[in-house]
Amino acid sequence: MPVPRRLALLLPLSACAQGVTASLPAEQAVTLPPAGLPQGAGDPTRGAILASSYAFGTPGVLAGNPAAAAEALAQLEYLTVELGLGGPWRDMDPLVPLELRQARAEARAALGLRADATPQLAVDALYGTATALRGAGPDAARQAIAPLAQPGTAPAVLARLSDLPPLPRAAAATARARSALNRRDSDRRPPYFRF
């Protein structure tokens, strides 16, 4: 039986994505600090998908708001691991984890963050920075971001958080995660609730 043309075009892409994903190193689970737990969204992963896709898709909301930028970057770090581990999210679009990894690399490079930092260190440092910026002040924020920043660059990282550079991969990856979440929700909804 001949393969439909659309399916034939997707097969090489799917095989490529599976090959790249299989070659990526396994990551350890990441936990969110209390400041990172969503309010009203219930599940932290769902909350991170919704919040980060909005933040990166509407960069104006992050302009001049380094605390919000730090939170969005922490959510990106968290999602990169959480959606890549499978578990309850294994039925998501298989390209989402790959795109999130590319987005994480883009964000770390753009802000001058350590490429070798563990995701847990990144999540803790970014949420700690956001909390400090909202209360304790710039000195505490510099101390919070220092473990994630390249040596001696914490002030420059904070300046970049205030004026976040364009992160097109982050916007695309989190938008894809949100679309995948919407499809997943639609597929799980009873037929008489679908419209």
Domains of the chain, by residue range, sit at 41-187
More confident residue, 42 or 184: 184
Give the pLDDT of residue 161: 97
Average confidence (pLDDT) over 130-157: 95
Give the pLDDT of residue 9: 44
Instruction: Check whether 11 has a pLDDT greater than 50.
Output: no
Q: Which of 144, 137, 171 is nearest to 61 (CA)?
A: 171
Rounded Cα distance between 168 and 92, Å, is 21
Query: CB-based contacts of 172: which residues, under 8 Å, 6+ apart?
Result: 99, 103
